[in-house]
Structure 1
Amino acid sequence: MAIPPPCAARYAPEPTAVARARRAVAAQVERAGFAALADDAALLVSELVANAVLHARTEVEVRVVAQEGGVRVEVQDGSPVLPLPGALRATAMSGRGLVLVATLARRWGVEPREGGKVVWFELGGDAPAPQELDVDDLVEMWSRADGDLGPDTSELPVRVVLRDVPVAALLAAKSHMEDLVRELRLVLLDAGRARPAAEGEGTGAAALLVARRLDEAVEDFAEGRLQLRGLGMRARANGEAVATLELTLPPSAADAALRYLDAVEAAAGLSAEGGLLVQAEGLAEHADLRRWYLREIARQLRAAQP
């Protein structure tokens, strides 16, 4: 059977792109003669497009290339940054894309492109299993998110030491927060296309308010979140069950940490009341740990202020 030519489609960075890409890829894989691979291809492309919509926030191009014995699927966006795999539980939405790719694909990789990147995977055929990426490389790629985020150099940095941190619990808490942030940002994306009157109606209005509040808090405390995740990843890679984490943050991060905590508590409260934020239901599991480290960060930063 002749191999069909490649198929490509572009999608705007909106929630509907995920379902549209999933359907299109499944149909293209079936037409290429690989119906048995269609479900896996649809699952993996859904995860990668969702990550691109939420994190890159750029147009996404999906390309399906039929090969001898299988298919190659490429997802290209306008950000050079990868979502961070490896520390996420199997059900995590926001970062599980690469974990699933590494599990299901015969081969996968990332290629930088001008103004962005391509994440690709291959299904079928006799290609060797993928190699695991180095944890430091993954943390470095993730750290370039949000416009080359870095410490605020307008303030003298303060060293914050968190002692006896349970590494697995910390990473589980961070993973769950990434799930919640993904859901909230989908709420915001949907709200941007809804009629204005809808913002004042019912439970959806409460979810929208919490989504905006948490989205702002997440951005304000981005450097702290980045350092916590990176330090936790490295501690896990070193086999540490309990670790001492040393962060370097500007004094203004004290208020940002507490605003972040308040926003997370509001999300958990909305979920308990039956709101739309279903991913907030598990926040209680790590609530004590989250309150401790955020309040401890704020305490040490304020204590260092003149």
Structure 2
Amino acid sequence: MREARQYVRDVLRAAGREDLVETAELLVSELVTNALVHVGSGLEIAAWVEGDVLRVEVGDASPHAPLPRHHPVTAGTGRGLRLVSSMVDRWGTTPRGVGKVVWFELENGDHEPDLGDWDVADLEDDQSGRVVAPGGSLPRPLDVELLNVPLLLHTVWQQHADALLRELLLIRIGAGSNTDELWAHALASEAMSFLQENLPTPNVGEDADELMVSAVEPFVSSDREVLHVPAEIVDHFRVLDETLEAAVGMAEAGFLLTPPTQPEVQAFRHWICGEIQRQAIGEAPIPWSDVPTSAPAPAARIPLGWTSDEVSGSALAVMAADDTNRLIAASPSALELLGYAGPEELVGRRLVTIIPARFRQAHVAGFTLHLANGRAPLLDRWVTVPVLRKDGSEIDVRLLVAAEMLPAGRRVFVARLEPA
């Protein structure tokens, strides 16, 4: 990465266009990072100035044109090519040999970055382009039947996995990774792109009131989806599962900035990668099933450094959860409202224990995105929600949740409850 920026900087200085250096370095970084994440290795960079125009080309061994990942504006990833599109005068892709070249032209460096919508039609139509291992063939696609698919969970898993893979790749590049590790990233990314392009995305919106209506079952799941998986990428899903398992382990150990993931997100990855591999050898589909509320929360590497006295001693109905989604305190009034005799029956369990099943996808998605990028449509405002009592019955409560950032970088969420 450093060498690519230095190369472009030298080209511009030799041509007397130092005014383009800052913008060009940013753009080159984005293109090279995108190629490394999605292809792995074998990159070639060329740059020259003709007249007043800088042209930069980044070539790689994949014929697959760069496609935008349709993450919402609150996502913490997936914006690199949008940034390129908004800051250059022209850009595109050109087939070259077995791969392609992504290029841009820059005449001035005063373009303002724009991360808004862009037109996919501006990209090359490259639906047949795939990352295929050397010597691979293209036999008939495999029909994979997915049952009871949690579509909202898939959406948030894509965003979390994107962040994990990007961080893991940059760490491995810095450590001098071998070609096999870089190729594994390319295969993993190809598997994720296939799923994103072939599974629908639920439209839940960003407004808090809209979320309470749309981000619930059955609107966030699909009874049945059939994927036509190219046979040559079936094994990519094994690579994806293994690569993300390594990345999650590094996140839990504190080596990555991306926070560890909830049990539901990990279970989804195991399930969907497993379904494709199992059905490839003739086994029958297994429907997705919800993760038990008793599943343990992710382990916390850093002590919380928070005292529960203010919550557990409050005269109001107040509860607190930490950033692993674990309930850490509840006042007597809150316990009584939910039908628990004492804190030992509830404190220490995951927050999903008191969330009705039809809202759990939305809760896990929202919680994961908040930790990743601060998305918080339901914080610091009163909302009316149903909660589960100990006996399994539901009651509606008015809920006000506030987040407290602790000195060690961890977070506590304190909620006040009132009968609706």
Comparing 18-27 and 170-179, the one that deviates more: 170-179
Instruction: Tell me: CA distance 1:172–1:295, structure 2 relative to 1, closer, same or farther (3 Å).
Output: closer
CA–CA separation in structure 2 for the residues paired with 1:107 and 1:265:
39
Instruction: Tell me: CA distance 1:29–1:224, structure 2 relative to 1, closer, same or farther (3 Å).
Output: closer
- CA deviation string 1:128-166 (max 9, x = no partner): x9973339966726x51234988875x964422453512
Instruction: Tell me: CA distance 1:67–1:179, structure 2 relative to 1, closer, same or farther (3 Å).
Output: farther
Instruction: Tell me: CA distance 1:82–1:270, structure 2 relative to 1, closer, same or farther (3 Å).
Output: same
How much has 1:230 moved relative to structure 2? Answer: 1.0
Which residue in 1 is equivalent to 2:33?
50
One-letter amino acid matched to 1:144: R
Q: Kindly indicate whether residue 231 of structure 2 is the aligned counterpart of residue 247 of structure 1.
A: no
How much has 1:21 moved relative to structure 2? Answer: 1.2
More helix by share: 1
How much has 1:272 moved relative to structure 2? Answer: 2.3
Pairing of 1:1-306 with structure 2 (within 5 A): 18-54=1-37, 55=39, 57-68=41-52, 70-88=53-71, 91-92=76-77, 96-124=79-107, 132-134=119-121, 140=127, 144-147=130-133, 157-166=143-152, 170-189=154-173, 219=187, 225-232=192-199, 235=201, 242=220, 244=222, 245-248=225-228, 261=241, 264-275=244-255, 278-279=256-257, 281-284=258-261, 288-292=264-268, 294-295=270-271, 298=274, 301=279, 302-304=283-285
Contact 1:71 1:122 in 2 (8 A): yes
Which residue in 2 is equivalent to 1:12?
none
CA–CA separation in structure 2 for the residues paired with 1:254 and 1:31:
48
TM-score with structure 1 length normalisation? 0.61
CA–CA separation in structure 2 for the residues paired with 1:255 and 1:104:
37
Contact 1:218 1:260 in 2 (8 A): no
CA–CA separation in structure 1 for the residues paired with 2:238 and 2:76:
28
Contact 2:5 2:29 in 1 (8 A): yes
Report the count of equivalent residues. Answer: 255
Contact 1:62 1:73 in 2 (8 A): yes
Classify the secondary structure of the residue corresponding to 2:46: strand
One-letter amino acid matched to 1:49: V
Instruction: Tell me: CA distance 1:80–1:29, structure 2 relative to 1, closer, same or farther (3 Å).
Output: same
CA–CA separation in structure 2 for the residues paired with 1:23 and 1:269:
34
Classify the secondary structure of the residue corresponding to 1:145: coil
- CA deviation string 1:261-297 (max 9, x = no partner): 565344323322233xx15x33426x52452364266
TM-score with structure 2 length normalisation? 0.47
Contact 1:151 1:250 in 2 (8 A): yes
Residue identity (%): 29
Instruction: Tell me: CA distance 1:177–1:131, structure 2 relative to 1, closer, same or farther (3 Å).
Output: closer
Query: For the pair shown, which has the larger CA radius of gyration, 1 or 2?
Result: 2
Contact 2:9 2:21 in 1 (8 A): yes
Contact 1:51 1:97 in 2 (8 A): yes
Give the RMSD, CA atoms, in angstroms.
4.7
Structure 2 gaps, min length 5: 206-213, 287-420
Which residue in 2 is equivalent to 1:13?
none
CA–CA separation in structure 2 for the residues paired with 1:254 and 1:124:
44
Classify the secondary structure of the residue corresponding to 1:146: coil
Instruction: Tell me: CA distance 1:20–1:256, structure 2 relative to 1, closer, same or farther (3 Å).
Output: closer
Give the structure, 1 or 2, with the largest relative contact order (CA under 8 Å, sep 6 or more): 1
- CA deviation string 1:77-116 (max 9, x = no partner): 3332234324257753xx5442221121122111112333
CA–CA separation in structure 1 for the residues paired with 2:102 and 2:234:
36
One-letter amino acid matched to 2:41: R
One-letter amino acid matched to 1:270: M
Instruction: Tell me: CA distance 1:236–1:83, structure 2 relative to 1, closer, same or farther (3 Å).
Output: farther
CA–CA separation in structure 2 for the residues paired with 1:114 and 1:182:
27
Classify the secondary structure of the residue corresponding to 1:121: strand
Instruction: Tell me: CA distance 1:182–1:259, structure 2 relative to 1, closer, same or farther (3 Å).
Output: closer
Classify the secondary structure of the residue corresponding to 1:62: strand
One-letter amino acid matched to 2:145: R
Which residue in 1 is equivalent to 2:347?
none
Classify the secondary structure of the residue corresponding to 1:178: helix
- CA deviation string 1:155-188 (max 9, x = no partner): 964422453512xx63443244234334434454
- CA deviation string 1:32-78 (max 9, x = no partner): 3333321110111122223334515214032222433x422222333
Contact 1:21 1:62 in 2 (8 A): no
Classify the secondary structure of the residue corresponding to 1:52: helix
CA–CA separation in structure 1 for the residues paired with 2:62 and 2:272:
33
Structure 1 gaps, min length 5: 1-17, 195-210
Which residue in 1 is equivalent to 2:414?
none
Instruction: Tell me: CA distance 1:304–1:268, structure 2 relative to 1, closer, same or farther (3 Å).
Output: closer
